C-alpha cells in the first residue's frame, strides 16, 4: 500500500447557476437573485453547506473554493470555517476552473484531490468516507455515482419532444461528486482534454479520455445536484437528515 498523501478538496464555485433562477421572480425587482451557490438553505448559503460536508472528514487537509475573479460573496459565506481557502481563479468552464485551482492550490503530483460540486450540499459523511477509503489504494481513483433506476428514453428531432428509443439501463450509473484523483493525473487528464477540444462535464470524463477506468463508489439520493428552482425546498428538508 502506498503511504497516504495529502488530501485536498476543490469546490468549483464560479458559475451563475442560471437554471436555478426562480422563473416567478420579478425581473424588475431591486435585488438581483444571487448565484445559486449563495442562495440560502436552512439559513446558510448552499456553498457553506457543501464545504462543511467535506470538512466532516478530518483526513481532508484543506478545502479550496475556486470562485470568480469578481466574487464578493465567498468570504462572508465561508467565514469562520477551518481549513478553507478561497482562490479567485474561476474560468470560463468547470474544467478551466479546476485546472486553475490545481495550478494554485499547492498540490503535489502524488496528493489526492477531491472535486465536489458547490450545488451538492447533501453529501453524507458515510459516502465521503467510503469514497476516500476506496480510492486511497486505487491506481486510478474514482467517483461517487448512483446506479440508474429509471427507464431512460432518447429524444428524436422535431418541434414536439417525442421518444426516439429506450436505452437499456443495465450498467448505467449517474455521476455525482466528489470525484477523487491524484493531482498529477488530474492535471494531465484536463490538459489532454483541452488540447483535443474534448467536452469535459466532470473530472472522471477527462480521466476516461486517457483510457483509464475510474472506480465507482455508491452514492445516495440526498447527494443530488441542486439545479432547478424546486430543488431548493427538497434539499432543505433533506439537510435535516444528513
pLDDT exceeds cutoff 60 at 31: no
Predicted structure pTM score: 0.90
Q: Which of 19-23, 138-142, 236-240 has the highest mean pLDDT?
A: 138-142
Distance between CA 81 and CA 62 in Å, rounded? 11
CA distance linking residue 37 with residue 23, whole number of Å:
17
Coil, strand or helix at 166: strand
pLDDT at 129 over 80: yes
Of 73, 76, 77, 78, the residue nearest 90 (C-alpha) = 73
Q: How far apart are CA 49 and CA 26, in angstroms?
A: 27
Phi, psi of 110 (to 5 degrees): -90, -5
| CA gap 121, 182 in Å, rounded | 23
pLDDT tens, position by position, 53-76: 999 999 999 999 999 999 999 999
- 91-114 confidence digits (pLDDT tens): 999 999 999 999 999 999 999 999
Backbone angles phi, psi at 185, to 5 degrees: -65, -45
Amino acid at each position: 500500500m502506498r503511504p497516504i498523501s495529502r488530501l485536498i478538496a476543490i469546490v468549483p464555485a464560479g458559475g451563475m447557476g442560471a437554471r436555478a433562477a426562480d422563473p416567478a421572480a420579478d425581473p424588475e425587482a431591486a435585488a438581483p437573485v444571487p448565484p445559486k451557490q449563495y442562495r440560502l438553505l436552512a439559513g446558510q448559503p448552499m456553498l457553506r453547506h457543501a464545504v462543511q460536508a467535506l470538512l466532516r472528514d478530518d483526513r481532508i487537509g484543506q478545502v479550496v473554493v475556486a470562485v470568480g475573479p469578481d466574487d464578493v460573496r465567498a468570504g462572508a459565506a465561508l467565514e469562520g470555517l477551518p481549513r478553507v481557502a478561497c482562490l479567485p481563479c474561476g474560468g470560463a468552464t468547470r474544467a478551466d476552473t479546476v485546472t486553475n485551482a490545481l495550478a494554485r492550490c499547492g498540490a503535489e503530483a502524488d496528493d489526492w484531490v477531491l472535486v465536489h460540486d458547490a450545488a451538492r450540499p447533501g453529501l453524507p459523511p458515510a459516502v465521503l468516507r467510503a469514497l476516500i477509503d476506496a480510492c486511497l489504494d486505487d491506481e486510478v481513483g474514482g467517483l461517487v455515482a448512483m446506479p440508474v433506476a429509471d427507464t431512460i428514453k432518447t429524444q428524436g428531432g422535431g418541434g414536439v419532444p417525442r421518444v426516439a428509443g429506450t436505452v437499456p439501463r443495465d450498467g448505467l450509473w449517474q455521476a455525482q461528486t466528489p470525484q477523487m484523483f491524484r493531482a498529477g493525473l488530474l492535471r494531465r487528464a484536463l490538459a489532454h482534454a483541452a488540447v483535443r477540444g474534448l467536452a469535459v462535464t466532470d473530472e472522471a470524463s477527462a480521466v476516461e479520455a486517457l483510457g483509464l477506468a475510474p472506480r465507482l463508489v455508491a452514492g445516495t439520493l440526498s447527494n443530488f445536484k441542486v439545479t432547478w428552482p424546486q430543488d431548493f425546498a427538497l434539499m432543505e428538508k433533506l439537510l435535516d437528515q444528513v
